[in-house]
Structure 1
């Protein structure tokens, strides 16, 4: 859960990219890392298997200054998509403040997408997160590949879902930042409702989301 220090005007959030194996979770984080200026970003750490799949998680700590003087540190993680690593997924998901579900747009991956989403809902409940109110954004990745579901098909399947829906090609960098900003907006709406960030603490949510300025953590 969010770590808040009113004395230091510092807020730390944990954001998790979740989805089936090889859907592009790691590539999303790598593209976000690329978008930050070289002198203003932390290191991205990856532990991979021999076949280049993420085994445990990636961690990309970046910081964002708000117009009202707050420093918001973001810890970005991915989970391993392979079925055998469910215990690691639960550990990484624990205490998350928001989640991006990264689906694979290829038609052949529809079943895997559904199983991974069900796994997200189950694991959220297992680690004490209320899935019904968890800030969540859905991204259909790999739009650059052939034989993918059309946007119309995806929207038809997800039209009753309450979560924002984005289309992306993380490999090309398309849709990655838009997904990230939507997640931040959802997380801050949730926190503002719980902690009255704007009225009680002067944390300008709108200005923060609209004016992203990645910086390395000064501590």
Structure 2
């Protein structure tokens, strides 16, 4: 639910990394923070819980500016995956504009992935968002570990959802930018449809993505 202040010509977007505990949500954001352009990113903020971490940072603290003068600020959050922190997950999902679901590729975590995805769908509904319409991507992380689910099985189970899927080894930085870029791209589509980023503000999709997803 995009925050748009017409008087100030300012827009704030909120992207959330969701998934089971220890699937690599924090690792994705730590790597993303290092990989993205240094002049654009903000400080990395960490809020520790007993068993997991919720972290967030302002990706563009000084705003991405469209040719029309519209300023766009993007905040990226993770949520704690532990079951006991469900209230925190719901709070972080409030007014989310896009979600990256980070699944753990290990076969032993298959059940946790399914339970966490069902939890995401339920919590989105509780905060007034629809999983069918919110920009959403899935990343299968930890592809560098032994005993992972096969790509064929990932395709068979998850491709029918129509949600873009990315494979990653976030600890090595693999697939991190690709996942974020896919989420940003899907978010742009909704922004453009609702607020006319290209037609009214002169901000084309490729320019939006180029200003966001540029290695530092």
Q: What is the TM-score normalised by the length of structure 2?
A: 0.90
Is the 2:139–2:168 Cα contact (8 Å) retained in structure 1?
yes
Unaligned runs of 5+ in 2: none
Q: Which stretches of structure 1, 4 residues or more, deviate above 6 A after TM superposition?
A: none
Does residue 62 (structure 1) correspond to residue 59 (structure 2)? The answer is yes
Does residue 75 (structure 1) correspond to residue 72 (structure 2)? The answer is no
SS at match of 2:170: coil
Do the aligned partners of residues 86 and 189 (structure 1) sit closer, same or farther apart at CA in structure 2, a change above 3 Å counting? same
1:161 paired residue number: 161
Structure-1 separation of matches of 2:172 and 2:213: 21
1:67, distance to aligned residue in structure 2 (A): 6.1
Is the 2:181–2:209 Cα contact (8 Å) retained in structure 1?
yes
1:9, distance to aligned residue in structure 2 (A): 4.3
Do the aligned partners of residues 90 and 12 (structure 1) sit closer, same or farther apart at CA in structure 2, a change above 3 Å counting? same
Is the 2:181–2:213 Cα contact (8 Å) retained in structure 1?
no
Structure-2 separation of matches of 1:201 and 1:170: 34
Structure-1 separation of matches of 2:40 and 2:160: 40
Is the 1:66–1:208 Cα contact (8 Å) retained in structure 2?
no
1:129 paired residue number: 129
Is the 2:138–2:164 Cα contact (8 Å) retained in structure 1?
yes
Cα deviation, 1:86-145, whole Å, max 9, x if unaligned, reads 111000001000000000000000000000000000000000012210100000001111
1:217 paired residue number: none
Structure-1 separation of matches of 2:16 and 2:153: 26
Q: How does 1:1-219 map to 2 (within 5 A)?
A: 1-6=1-6, 8-49=8-49, 53-54=52-53, 57-63=54-60, 65=64, 68=67, 70-212=70-212
Is the 1:104–1:142 Cα contact (8 Å) retained in structure 2?
yes
Is the 1:99–1:183 Cα contact (8 Å) retained in structure 2?
yes
Superposed CA RMSD in Å reads 1.8
Unaligned runs of 5+ in 1: 215-219
Is the 1:138–1:166 Cα contact (8 Å) retained in structure 2?
yes
Q: What is the TM-score normalised by the length of structure 1?
A: 0.89
